[in-house]
Chain A
Amino acid sequence: MSTQAFTLTAPRSTVLFAGLMTDDTQSLADGLRRRDPDVLDRLIEQYQQRLYRYLLFLTGNTALAEDLFQETWIRVLERGHQYNAKSKFESWLFAIARNLVIDVSRRKKIASLEELGDSESNQPFELPDERSVSPLQLLVTRENEQVVQLSLLKIPAYYREVLLLRFQEELSLEEISTVLSTPLSTVKSRLYRGLTVLKSALPEGAA
Chain B
Amino acid sequence: MAAPHVAFDLEIPSDVEYIEGIVELARQRCRELNLPSATCSLNVPVALSEALSNAILRGNEAVGGKHVRVRAIVTDAALVFEIVDEGPGFDLDKCTADCTTDDNITKEEGRGLFLMRRLVDEVESFRDHGNVVRLTLRRE
Q: Do A and B come together as binding partners?
A: no
Chain A positions near chain B (C-beta within 8 angstroms): none
